[in-house]
Each structure stands twice: as structure tokens, then as C-alpha cells.
């Protein structure tokens, strides 16, 4: 019964296993699209400028669809939202293959549609997890979800490069379409416990605003999201721009870049494994402390240290990110009103993913204006201070307005 199910590994639950397979397929397809388009540049099917335009179109589609997907997933069935988002992304694959190297307009539209499918499915998957998995096993479930994403990131480049030897770029794009079909068709329906009780037909703006009001009713969420946004806007952006420069100019080799990125993913994998079982006494503050650990990554690039220090710092940053992400997602699923969960999740993704491109665009001019070390030092300081400030919010101790976290 519920207690017995809570003691069994979550991946043995068929409903969650189907959801996990679908989310993993969507994560792999989402990650792989920029990589495959990058291979098209190497094969001179695309220019670097065209690649930038396609990635911008995909990002724009993603950001537009995230809030729309949140509203639709709360208004209708979460399973239906996953289905239609996956089918839209799958339909974009043959359009990308048809337009690649022939029609930039068609390819850009297809990239935007792919981004829409990717964005719309994210809050739906998040809310569907709360339907499929009972509260006591959600942290384990979220850890399994993020573990799949990190494994994909670690092994994906080699697998894609191997497939590129056997298949043309257009064949790889069609393969991404098949992955999206898996994401659309494999997950089953939730138990219905977290589904909206009635279909509502209010305006989109009003319904999304209702989700914003729900989010504002949780001070720990507002504080945590602010800290996450600060870390992404500064630390994540700074390392994304500065790490290749430091690897090339200070160490004279791309090996430091490759090793640091690999260490970041390995650290995140370790974090997902740890947090699947670890239950700290103050989970919110522990998660925010882990988020602050990202600051060691830009800090390691300030000084001329041994490359091993840089690699270790990025491993710590990856570990910290997952020690934050999993309790954060679990708390959102536990604390937010079930019929507003997808909209609050969409707000989370909109802020975190939306700030990343803005930060990347501003960091390079800041480095040119103020210098590499001052910018990196300032970004590291923000990474340390923003989560510390968020932790001062009383409800941030447990990521809950209740006195203690739910069992």
C-alpha cells in the first residue's frame, strides 16, 4: 500500500518509469539539437551566423512556450500537455531536415517550433511528476530525473559524434524527431490527485497572473528564485564566457575547458546520487548553501592556479547545483497548490532559463570594459551572497511555510 510503495525504488514503479523514459527522451532531444546544428556548421551546411540565428529562434520559442505550457497544463490534462508539446517538437524535426541548407526561413520557423515544444513540456513534466509519484518518494524521483539529464550530457557528445559518422545531419535531425515521439507517447496518465478539478476558460494573462500570485504567497520560493536568478545571471554566464578564454590564454590548451566541463557534469551526477537519499535537517538552507558553492567556479578563474584546482572547482559547482535543484523541485511540488503547480513551475523555468542568454550577452562587454578578474570576482561574490541572503527568509529553512518539511 502507500507505505510499502514508499520503501521501494521509484524506478520500479511502472507509471514513473514511463514518465522517466519520456522525460529522458525529451531531455536528450533538447540537448542534442544545438549539438547537431553545430555539426552542421562543421560540415559547412550552416554558417556560424545561421547557427546563431537558429539557436536564437529556438530560445525565443522556448521562452514564449514556457508560460503558455504552464497555463495549459493547469487548465487541462498534464498528460495532454506533454503529448501535444512532444508532437509539436517531433513535427519540427522533418521541417528542420527539409530546410537545412536550402531555406533559412523554413529552418528558423522549425527551430522556433522545436523550442516551443521543449518549453511547453517542461512545466507539464514537473507537474505530472507530482501526480505520478506520492510525496514521500518525490525527492528520489526528481533525483532520478536529473540523473538521466546529466548522464545524457556526459555521454551524448560522443554518441552524437559516432552517429554522425554513420548518418547525415538530416538523418540525425529525424532521429531527434523519433526521440520526441517517445517523449510524447510513452508517459502515462497521472493518478489525478494533482490535476485541476475543473476546466477554466479565463484569459491567459489572468491565469498566469494567478500562478504568479501563488508563487508570491511562498516567501521561500521568491527568495530562492531570486538567488537562483542571481547565480545564473552572474556565475553561470561568467564561467560560460570566461572558461574558454582562460583555458586558451592562461593554460594554452583546450584540455582545461574540456576537463572542467566534464568535471561539472560528473559533480552533478554525484550530487543527484547523494540527494536521492540524503535528508538534511534544514533542507532549504542546505540547498541554498549548495547553490552558493557555484561561486567557487568563477573564483577559480580569477587567479593563476593549477589546472587541477579549476577542474575541482567546477566539480564542486556541479555537485552544488544538483544538491539545490532536487530539493527545490521537490519543495515546489509539495508546497504549491496542485491546480497552480504547472504555472509556478513555468515561472521558475522562465526566470532561470530566460536570464541565461541575457547574462551571456552582457558578460563579454563587461569583461572588455572592466577586465576579466574584476568581473569574475564580482560574479563569485554575488554567487556567495545571494543564496546567503535568501537563507535569511524564515520559511527558507525548510522550503516550506510549515514548521517542518513534510515526511
Q: Check if the beta carbon of residue 267 is closer than 8 Å to that of residue 317.
A: yes
pLDDT along the chain (407 residues), means of 10: 53 89 90 85 83 89 92 88 94 93 92 94 91 90 89 74 77 92 86 46 79 93 95 91 89 89 92 91 95 96 94 96 95 92 92 81 88 94 97 93 54
Other Cβ atoms within 10 Å of 361 Cβ, number: 11
End-to-end Cα distance, the chain = 16
pLDDT at 346 (0 to 100): 92
Q: Check if the beta carbon of residue 78 is closer than 8 Å to that of residue 124.
A: yes
Closest CA to 69 of 341, 333, 358, 357: 341
**SS3 assignment, position 371:** coil
Judge if 2-136+153-191 and 212-397 fold alike in CATH terms: yes
> Per the structure block, which three cell numbers stand in for 88?
509539436
Closest CA to 88 of 133, 29, 38: 29
Chosen CATH of 212-397 out of 3.30.428.10, 1.20.1250.20, 3.40.470.10, 1.10.260.40: 1.20.1250.20
Q: Where are the domains of the chain?
A: 2-136+153-191, 212-397
Q: Which CATH class is domain 2-136+153-191?
A: mainly alpha
CA dist 353 → 115, 151, 156, 235 (Å): 12, 20, 21, 14
Amino acid at each position: 500500500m502507500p507505505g510499502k510503495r514508499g520503501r521501494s525504488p521509484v524506478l520500479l514503479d511502472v507509471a514513473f518509469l514511463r514518465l522517466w523514459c519520456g522525460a529522458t527522451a525529451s531531455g536528450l532531444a533538447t540537448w542534442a539539437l544545438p549539438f547537431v546544428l553545430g555539426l552542421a556548421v562543421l560540415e559547412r551546411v550552416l554558417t556560424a551566423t545561421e547557427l546563431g540565428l537558429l539557436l536564437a529562434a529556438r530560445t525565443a520559442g522556448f521562452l514564449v512556450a514556457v508560460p503558455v505550457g504552464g497555463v495549459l497544463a493547469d487548465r487541462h490534462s498534464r498528460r495532454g500537455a506533454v503529448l501535444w508539446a512532444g508532437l509539436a517538437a517531433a513535427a519540427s524535426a522533418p521541417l528542420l531536415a527539409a530546410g537545412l541548407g536550402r531555406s533559412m526561413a523554413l529552418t528558423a520557423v522549425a527551430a522556433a517550433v522545436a523550442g516551443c515544444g521543449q518549453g511547453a513540456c517542461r512545466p507539464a513534466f514537473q507537474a505530472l511528476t507530482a501526480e505520478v509519484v506520492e510525496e514521500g518518494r518525490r525527492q528520489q524521483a526528481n533525483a532520478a530525473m536529473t540523473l538521466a539529464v546529466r548522464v545524457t550530457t556526459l555521454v551524448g557528445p560522443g554518441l552524437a559524434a559516432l552517429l554522425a559518422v554513420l548518418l547525415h545531419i538530416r538523418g540525425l535531425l529525424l532521429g531527434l524527431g523519433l526521440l520526441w515521439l517517445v517523449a510524447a507517447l510513452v508517459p502515462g496518465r497521472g493518478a489525478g490527485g494533482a490535476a485541476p478539478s475543473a476546466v477554466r476558460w479565463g484569459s491567459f494573462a489572468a491565469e498566469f497572473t494567478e500562478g504568479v500570485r501563488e508563487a508570491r504567497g511562498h516567501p521561500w520560493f521568491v527568495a530562492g528564485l531570486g538567488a537562483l536568478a542571481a547565480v545564473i545571471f552572474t556565475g553561470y554566464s561568467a564561467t560560460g564566457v570566461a572558461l574558454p578564454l582562460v583555458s586558451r590564454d592562461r593554460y594554452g590548451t583546450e584540455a582545461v575547458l574540456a576537463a572542467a566541463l566534464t568535471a561539472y557534469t560528473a559533480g552533478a551526477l554525484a550530487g543527484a546520487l547523494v540527494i536521492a537519499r540524503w535528508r538534511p535537517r534544514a533542507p532549504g538552507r542546505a540547498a541554498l548553501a549548495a547553490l552558493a558553492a557555484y561561486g567557487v567556479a568563477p573564483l577559480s578563474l580569477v587567479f593563476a592556479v593549477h589546472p587541477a584546482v579549476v577542474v575541482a572547482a567546477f566539480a564542486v559547482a556541479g555537485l552544488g547545483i544538483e544538491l539545490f535543484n532536487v530539493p527545490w523541485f521537490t519543495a515546489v511540488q509539495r508546497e504549491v497548490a496542485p491546480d497552480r503547480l504547472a504555472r509556478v513551475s513555468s515561472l521558475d523555468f522562465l526566470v532561470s532559463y530566460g536570464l541565461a542568454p541575457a547574462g551571456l550577452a552582457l558578460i563579454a562587454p563587461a569583461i572588455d570594459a572592466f577586465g576579466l578578474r574584476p568581473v569574475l570576482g564580482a560574479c563569485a561574490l554575488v554567487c556567495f551572497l545571494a543564496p546567503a541572503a535568501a537563507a535569511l527568509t524564515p520559511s527558507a529553512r525548510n522550503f516550506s511555510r510549515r514548521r517542518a518539511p513534510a515526511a
